[in-house]
Amino acid sequence: HAERLNGLGTTIFAEMSALAVATGSVNLGQGFPDTDGPDSLLEDAIAAIRAGANQYPPGRGIPALRQAIVDHQKRFYDLSYDPDTQVLVTTGATEAIAAALLAFVEPGDEVIALEPYYDSYAAGIAFAGGRRIPVTLRAPSYRLDLDELRAAVTPRTKVLLINTPHNPTGTVLTDDELRGIRDLAVEHDLVVITDEVYEHLVYDDHRHIPLATYEGMADRTVSIGSAGKTFSVTGWKIGWVTGSPEVVTAVTTAKQFLTYVSGSPFQPAVANALALGNDYFNALRATLQSRRDLLANGLSDLGFEVHRPAGTYFITTDIRPLGHTDSIDFCRLLPERTGVVAIPTQVFYDNKEAGRPLVRWAFCKKEELLQEALTRLQKL
């Protein structure tokens, strides 16, 4: 096979979900909710199929969904976009990330990514022929060190690939950090791809701020969202890109030859869901926050060092207080020993030392299942 596949192997999510099935484990590995998103959304998709939304939708997405994405950005962030030229519907955020990298990275260009990084970033950068340059978010705070970010920029840097709220650390980038990113991007004329799929999953008094809201970013930001997390339908794969007309046209040019289009009956359903009242978004956040607390407290009682996340639906823990040192060994042994599956965060680091003792647990699960996992983990 081609060199660009080197090191990609099988995604950890497939490996660990297969292991969960094979061992009958509670799967707190791959991040997917065990409750499907709002009834109205599910009914709308069924109705759309019956009404004939089964053929290719328009290349950039159906007008109703593009308008709903625009309205959502206006409502939550006071960002204004033109639905015809500044929005693209994609096959999940995954395709948006890949298409954005293909659109902006030349072979040999450097792409700075915050590590630990979501695994498709590495693949997307490799497919574009780019070089991945990690900037490490270090436990326990997982803050972005702006000096390290600045030091990572070279004349070959083309793209900054950021993610807030951040998977797997749960970091929500602050105003200061986002300003720092903006300043660097403007100074070095960089494109910033910002993966904001967890925009609505932010807890306590933390707040998600889209990078696109900063002055100077409108023409250089590729903003990415997804219905998967916000509406608990990860298998629907409806994502989107917003940005300047030039940015969106570039991403569209790549995207049209990856999948062209997808998700015809899901698009009208997601359009309606984006217009749900604030009570929906508040309830989602409140439910997940209490599940975060349940799992975080339980893991802490079991002896893990818990890094309580500000956002996303993942908790990371340090396993060293339990006498373990390597998260890959730990996660391979865990299902057999306890009947629980988790993700070794180490695989999302180039700098393996920084990630070696870290394990990620998904809490987007029913309380009974989280309790069951905690009970099983007592066998550790």
* Segment near ligand PMP (CB under 6 A); pick from 20-28, 234-242, 257-265, 338-346: 234-242
Among 27, 67, 86, 167, binds ligand PMP (CB under 6 A): 167
CB of 313 to ligand GLN, least distance (A): 9
All residues at 6 or more sequence positions from 37 whose CB lies less than 8 Å from its CB, including other chains: 231, 232, 233, 273
Among 81, 104, 118, 280, binds ligand PMP (CB under 6 A): 118
**How many angstroms separate the CA atoms of 243 and 222, rounded?**
5
Q: Does 234 bind ligand PMP (CB under 6 A)?
A: yes
In the complex with ligand PMP, the residue whose CB is nearer, 90 or 252, is 90
Helices (H), the chain: 12-23, 39-50, 63-77, 92-104, 119-127, 146-152, 175-188, 227-230, 245-255, 266-274, 278-301, 327-338, 352-355, 367-377
- Output the six-digit token pair for 379: 């066998």
Among 126, 197, 261, 299, binds ligand PMP (CB under 6 A): 197
**Cα–Cα nearest to 34, from 291, 263, 240, 278:** 291
In the complex with ligand PMP, the residue whose CB is nearer, 12 or 374, is 12
In the complex with ligand PMP, the residue whose CB is nearer, 202 or 374, is 202
Among 29, 38, 61, 92, binds ligand PMP (CB under 6 A): 92
**Binding partner selected for residue 13 from ligand GLN, ligand PMP, none, CB under the kind-specific 5 to 8 Å limit:** ligand GLN
Q: Does 30 bind ligand GLN (CB under 6 A)?
A: yes
**How many angstroms separate the CA atoms of 113 and 121, rounded?**
8
**Binding partner selected for residue 272 from ligand GLN, ligand PMP, none, CB under the kind-specific 5 to 8 Å limit:** none
Q: Does 8 bind ligand GLN (CB under 6 A)?
A: no
Cα 66 → chain centroid: 21
**Cα–Cα nearest to 198, from 233, 237, 172, 159:** 172
Q: Does 31 bind ligand GLN (CB under 6 A)?
A: yes
For the beta carbon of residue 333, count every other beta carbon within 10 angstroms.
Answer: 12
All residues at 6 or more sequence positions from 341 whose CB lies less than 8 Å from its CB, including other chains: 16, 17, 19, 20, 23, 25, 26, 27, 28, 29, 331, 334, 335
Residues 10-29 that bind ligand GLN (CB under 6 A): 11, 13
CB of 168 to ligand PMP, least distance (A): 8
Among 33, 134, 180, 228, binds ligand PMP (CB under 6 A): 228
CB of 237 to ligand GLN, least distance (A): 11
**Binding partner selected for residue 93 from ligand PMP, ligand GLN, none, CB under the kind-specific 5 to 8 Å limit:** ligand PMP
- Name the CA dihedral angle for 211, 291, 29, 227, rounded to a multiple of 10 degrees: -40
Q: What are the backbone dihedrals phi and psi of residue 188, each rounded to the nearest 5 degrees, phi first? A: -105, 10
Query: Which residue ranges make up the site for ligand GLN (CB under 6 A)?
Result: 11, 13, 30-31, 167
